[in-house]
Amino acid sequence: MKTQMKEILSIIWKYSRLWGCMKLLNSVLTAIIVPVNTVLLQRIVNDILILLQENHFHFILNTHLVIFIAGVFSEVLLTGLDRYVEIRFDMQITDRLEKEIVRKYRKLDYSCYEDPQTYDSISRISQNPGEKIRMIFWKLCEMVRIIILLIGYLLIFQQASPLLVGIFLLFLPPILYENYKAGCLWYDLYSRQTADERKIAYYERLLTGKTSLAELKIYQATDYIEKLWKKQSSKLRKEKEETLIRVEKTLLRKSTFAALWYLCSGGFLLYGVITGRISVSMFLVLFQTILNIVDTVNGLLETFGNFSREIQEMSYLHSFFALKNIPERKGCIDRPVRRIRFEHVCFSYPNAGTETLHDISFELDLSKSTAIVGENGSGKTTIIKLLCGLYQPTSGRILFDEYDIRNLNNGEIGKAIKVVFQDFFQYELTIRENIGFGNLARISHDLELQEVLDAVHLEELKKLGLDTSLGKLEHEGIDLSRGQWQRLAVGRIFLNDTGYAVLDEPTASVDPVSEYNMYQLFYLLLRSRGSLMISHRLASAKMADHILVLKNGTIAEQGNHTELMKNQELYHELFCRQAEWYQ
């Protein structure tokens, strides 16, 4: 918790030190004013009583009254200022922190997404950390304010009688302890419930998400998920109720201590008044002070009940910024790449027990078309991921001509190859932007964009216009079928007439007839620049100049269709098996 607190304070110092210091100063001043005003009030009451005793019925403005009035106005002013500081602090920290977060996202190593715990901090970081930091800092300032207040009250007691301080010090520790205990109970509950809350949030997403809900309805599984949700929610509710009862018991003990303290101090004060050791004005002020202290201590629970939980939550911020960045690589390719070579490449996914690729060696001629085929899970997509530099081989090397991929940054790899992944992204933006991301320099070249739509057989979108919004983000946005989205994603590659085109199952969501036509088209369009295609449909791989056949993470065979068919091995077997399907 200490580290997290340090981290939060250093963030505040880095991003909003002016408004942070203003807030702290404000809290200190507000805390000082209250006991000072209390003392002044006592003096004023004293002055009035003396004046009344002396039969002076006109009340003269004396120094105490002037300072008291100034104090009251300062309090009002500081409260107003506090709101202003809060808004400025919020705006500044949110703005600057979010910029830093976006910067970090861009530098984040892809492998970070593999570890569930890391992934958790990546997703949580998007939930307005600036606002949370402000809340924590505000509570910290409140703690400073309360401590100063209590010291001030103690000094007032000291003025009246050391015994009063003694009574105060006797009861304050158990009151604070019970308060702290109540806070801990809530914190323990939170720690236990985090994972369950995540599950509930997931069930809620399933029950409210468009695609998931449609599928659940078809499978008539909505009730099933709802049951899981109810079971988990009632478990949480029960735990919360149990904690609530324990917290209430703790608070009852705290209130009993507070009442005892209140009665003892009150009794002592009354005795002081009766014996003439304490003036009436002092009695009134001290009595009011005791009430204020009870309020202040009660406020402690409200402020700090969730404090440790909130600080704990911010550990995500720390782990997010500590995540591994993509290493700085300065390698530059000064001419078009002609060959990519995998040399004895082995690869295991981070945190995975088994090896996915075993000692793979092959060469890609970037002026030719290559297909990778193989059964599901044989490692086809993994090869593409390595090719794009998303992961580095565990051993062996990948060479872009003579350049080792380990020394090339993403920009250099991106210049050499253009990829459409199987789990391509659907940008809920315009048709223009969806294709334009393939080559931002051409995003306003309408004619070229329209040619791309023709090339991927999306004439219906061409009719709608390039600036039509897609998805549900805009009111007038239109939704596309999965197949249409996929063609659009493939279109991005065609807006780029340079670079080796890499397509991972580019027709997975397209019907078989369109699929065959699309492959023919792809090979034709990409003839001039070379391509690598993954396909589970061997009829389409047949058109490629070269075919790599993968089996359990190794290259089982390679060659062109005729050669592989002659071999009568795995390719032949897969091809014949698939051909039977279509007969």
Cα–Cα distance measured from residue 486 to residue 422, given in angstroms and rounded to the nearest whole number: 9
- Least distance to ligand ADP from the beta carbon of 566, Å? 25
Q: Return the number of the residue (327 or 377) whose C-beta is nearest ligand ADP.
A: 377
Q: Output the DSSP codes for 185-251.
A: HHHHHHHHHHHHHHHHHHHHHHHH-HHHHHHHHHTT-HHHHHHHHHHHHHHHHHHHHHHHHHHHHHH
Question: Shortest distance, CB of residue 113 to ligand ADP, whole angstroms?
Answer: 8
- The interface with ligand ADP within residues 88-127 (CB under 6 A) comprises 114
Q: What are φ and ψ of residue 535, in 5° steps? A: -150, 140
Cα dist from 386 to 373, 396, 557, whole Å? 17, 12, 20
Q: Which is nearer to ligand ADP, 285 or 387 (CB)?
A: 387
Distance in Å, CB of 552 to ligand ADP, minimum = 9
Binding of ligand ADP at residue 439 (CB under 6 A)? Answer: no
Q: How far is the CB of 391 from ligand ADP (least distance, A)?
A: 9
Which one of the spans 35-43, 358-366, 377-385, 540-548 is the region binding ligand ADP (CB under 6 A)? 377-385
Residue 380 sits in the site that holds ligand ADP (CB under 6 A)? yes
Question: Is the Cβ–Cβ distance between 398 and 387 less than 8 Å?
Answer: yes
Among 267, 327, 377, 465, binds ligand ADP (CB under 6 A): 377
Alpha-carbon span 336 to 74, nearest angstrom:
71
Q: Helix or strand or coil: residue 401?
A: coil
Closest distance to ligand ADP from the beta carbon of 32 (Å): 58
Which one, 33 or 388, has the nearer CB to ligand ADP? 388
Residue 549 CB, shortest distance to ligand ADP, in Å, is 11
Q: Which is nearer to ligand ADP, 134 or 385 (CB)?
A: 385
Q: State yes or no: residue 245 binds ligand ADP (CB under 6 A).
A: no
Q: Binding to ligand ADP by residue 381, rule CB under 6 A?
A: yes
Residue 67: C-alpha distances to residues 62, 71, 81, 153, 269 (Å): 9, 6, 20, 19, 27
- Given the complex with ligand ADP, which of 26 and 486 has the nearer CB atom? 486
379 lies in the site for ligand ADP, by CB under 6 A: yes
Give the residue with the Cβ less far from ligand ADP, 222 or 509.
509
Continuous H helices in 338-423? 380-387, 410-416
Smallest gap, in angstroms, from Cβ of residue 351 to ligand ADP? 7
Output the smallest distance, CB 220 to ligand ADP, in A. 29
Q: What is the dihedral angle through the alpha carbons of 465, 466, 470, 476, rounded to the nearest 10 degrees? A: -50
Given 376, 528, 562, 583, the residue binding ligand ADP (CB under 6 A): 376
**Residue 350 or 559 having the CB closest to ligand ADP:** 350
In the list 70, 87, 263, 352, the residue contacting ligand ADP (rule: CB under 6 A) is 352
- Report the nearest approach of ligand ADP to the CB of residue 316 (Å): 22
Q: Say if residues 511 and 484 touch (Cβ distance below 8 Å).
A: no
CA distances from 279 to 43, 56, 157, 158 (A): 11, 20, 13, 15
Tell me if 510 sits within 8 A of 518, measured CB to CB: yes
Which region, judged by CB under 6 A, interacts with ligand ADP, from 14-22, 262-270, 375-383, 468-476? 375-383
Supply the DSSP string of 234-254, one letter for each residue.
Answer: HHHHHHHHHHHHHHHHHHHHH
Of these, 16, 179, 243, 382, which contacts ligand ADP (CB under 6 A)? 382
Nearer to ligand ADP, 377 or 512 (CB): 377
Phi-psi region of 116 (alpha: psi -120 to 50; beta: other; left: phi over 0): alpha
Q: Over the Cα atoms of the chain, what is R_g?
A: 36
The DSSP annotation for 306-361 comes to THHHHHHHTHHHHHHHTSPBPPP--B---S---EEEEEEEEE--TT-SS-SEEEEE
Nearer to ligand ADP, 90 or 114 (CB): 114
Decide: 531 and 357 in contact? Cβ < 8 Å. no
**Shortest distance, position 545 Cβ to ligand ADP, whole Å:** 21
- 356 makes contact with ligand ADP (CB under 6 A): yes
DSSP string for 272-290: HHHTTSS-HHHHHHHHHHH
Nearer to ligand ADP, 114 or 401 (CB): 114
- Count of residues binding ligand ADP (CB under 6 A)? 12
Phi-psi region of 377 (alpha: psi -120 to 50; beta: other; left: phi over 0): left
Nearer to ligand ADP, 230 or 324 (CB): 324
Residues that bind ligand ADP (CB under 6 A): 114, 349, 352, 356, 374, 376-382
